[in-house]
Amino acid sequence: MPPLIRHTRPVDVLVTGAGGFIGGHLVGALLRKGLSVRAVDIKPLDQWFQHHQGAEPVVADLQRWESAQAVMRGVGAVYQLASDMGGMGFIEQHKARCMLSVLINTHLLMAARDAGVQRFFYASSACVYNAERQASPGVMPLREEDAYPALPEDGYGWEKLFSERMCRHFTEDFGLATRVARYHNVYGPHGTWDGGREKAPAAICRKVIAAKQQGFRDIEIWGDGEQTRSFMYIDDCIHGTLGLCASDHAEPINIGSSELVSINQLVDLVEEIAGIRLVRRYRLNAPKGVAGRNSDNTRLRTLLGWEPSVTLREGLEQTYRWIHDEYMARQAGRSPLRAIAAS
């Protein structure tokens, strides 16, 4: 279990889950804005996806109340992205583990309240939405109010929805200014691309790269490939997150692309980028989630005058190249290509 860290200097921002995909990109963006950042994750430092010079790195288990108190000392604002999660395969098979993330959110909200934190951002998910509104591949884009009546993704979705409500009530009861974003399928470089926690874009890129490098002629697809999603590139995610946190909007809001595609269309795009065509084997009993999910960005456009704009093709080209380099480094027995950036 990671030891408690005693902090001696105040910082502008605490980012939890900083060793992960979105958290690593967010730390970099905050440093570029000239802010001081405390970056916290439970993973050992050598397993973080990005290391940023200028950030204060801390290894801590935020399910422990003492750790939440320790990392909160001297903090002005919080970006809470820490959770035990992954792609659909992981969250369908580890419901209890996903729900235990409520300990992280509870402890951090309490510690933020006690420390007089000015603003608390919580990264929620489109998995909070009522499953009955996602029963068809041709789904209507999900509006924020479609989370109720509640019927979220079992386990992970319930934990996210419950934590959203905690944010709301900490604002109402204790005056802690909270902001909540419902992310829709974020992807891009410097994230998980194998091992069971990866999401669909990374998984498809890896499978296509492996097929091309090893001479395979086929690819396994979970489900029938007709299920639909929208996928948001990481740069758009960070831009929307920073914009939301600077706003006065206190209710949960979608941050996601509205470019709806099927998984088959996602595979088409990755095959085009790779310059290969593969025979598809459909694993119909594999975890595949809801039949369709897309983001209604009406509220986001009204609030920020903006919505995600990086096309799926553009984002996949960047993601494919990064995963290709990681894959080749592993095949050659080299260390992963962790990003190291100056503040």
Signed CA dihedral, 169, 170, 171, 177: sign only: negative
Half-sphere exposure of 294 (CA within 13 A, CB side): 17
Q: Could you confirm whether 122 is annotated as catalytic? A: no
The answer to whether 129 and 293 are in contact (CB under 8 A) is yes
Report the distance separating Cα 21 and Cα 202, nearest Å: 12
Report the distance separating Cα 89 and Cα 231, nearest Å: 17
Number of H helices, E strands in the chain: 11, 15
Say which residues have a Cβ less than 8 Å from residue 203's Cβ, sequence separation at least 6: 87, 193, 194
- The one catalytic residue in 79, 122, 129, 156 is 156
Taking residue 218's Cβ as centre, other Cβ atoms within 10 Å add up to 11
Closest CA to 157 of 106, 227, 92: 92
Strand partners, 41: 59
Element (H, E) at 54: none
Report the distance separating Cα 245 and Cα 105, nearest Å: 17
Report the distance separating Cα 322 and Cα 68, nearest Å: 33
Report the distance separating Cα 269 and Cα 34, nearest Å: 37
Taking residue 132's Cβ as centre, other Cβ atoms within 10 Å add up to 10
Alpha carbon of residue 167 to chain centroid:
18
Coil, strand or helix at 142:
strand
- Which residues are annotated as catalytic? 156
